[in-house]
Structure 1
């Protein structure tokens, strides 16, 4: 029998990927990609080499997915930032499973810098960003390196669609 923790983690990563692909309309009713070559498809990359590139790629985000009971969000956020850099993506966030609730209720954590860069790219004020996507701040201690903002996987899907729309308009 394989490692049950690894299997649980893989199952969570796949659930996040599948939810976001369906939410964004990138798959058909059977879960197959509408355009398998579309760079915006949400994927679980194969890990190659010594540098981890994150669990799920949802351009422009790297998602570090966690299915554990005891959260260590600031540590996970540092890991997500490093993995985003390794993969060449601008943003790294953490997706933490909430026990007993469905995928939509999973928690997506942003460090302050990533949240601010995302908010700026969307052209939103702090108040509008928090209200539009349901972000709740967590301030642990005096150092902002331990502060983060959290929303749900469902709200993150909306944010992802919006940041992609803004990026597409800017590229034209």
Structure 2
């Protein structure tokens, strides 16, 4: 019998991947890739070796997906950032399932440094970036390593498309 928690986690990863591929127009109505060789397809990579490369790759992001009752967001963010480096991607974020909600309402968490790097790469001010993608801050205590900014998967899909458009425009 399979581990039920692993099954739930795998399903969440697949749900996030499928939602983003659909939102970005990378799949047809049956969920098949329009171009299987397109590097922009959102994928769940095979895990190989000792260095984890994250749960979902959505160029230029590595997504660390979590389906847990009590999220430990700062820990998830540290894990996502390490996995982004392992995978050779510039950004790592954590995507946490929202209980009894559609995948669109899952929470996407950015560490402050990652949020700032993405914002600067897109040429946006902090207020513009926060408003455009519906970010809310979580500033817990004086330890800035525990601070993060969050949006939902739906807004992240828009941010992902805009990030890709910005990168191609340069």
TM-score (norm 2): 0.99
Question: What does residue 110 of structure 2 align with?
Answer: 110
User: Using the alignment, how far apart are the partners of 1:22 and 1:168 within structure 2?
Assistant: 21
Instruction: List alignment gaps of at least 5 residues for structure 1.
Output: none
1:87 Cα deviation from its structure 2 partner: 0.1
1:1-172 → structure 2 map (5 Å cutoff): 1-170=1-170
SS of equivalent to 2:29: coil
What are the superposed Cα offsets for residues 34-84 of structure 1, whole Å, 9 maximum, x if unpaired?
Answer: 000000000000000000000000000000000000010000100000000
Instruction: List alignment gaps of at least 5 residues for structure 2.
Output: none
User: Using the alignment, how far apart are the partners of 1:66 and 1:8 within structure 2?
Assistant: 9
1:143 Cα deviation from its structure 2 partner: 1.4
User: Using the alignment, how far apart are the partners of 2:101 and 2:48 within structure 1?
Assistant: 32
CA RMSD of aligned residues (A): 0.4
SS of equivalent to 1:168: helix
The 4+ residue runs of structure 1 with deviation greater than 4 A are none
SS of equivalent to 1:11: helix
TM-score (norm 1): 0.98
1:138 Cα deviation from its structure 2 partner: 0.1
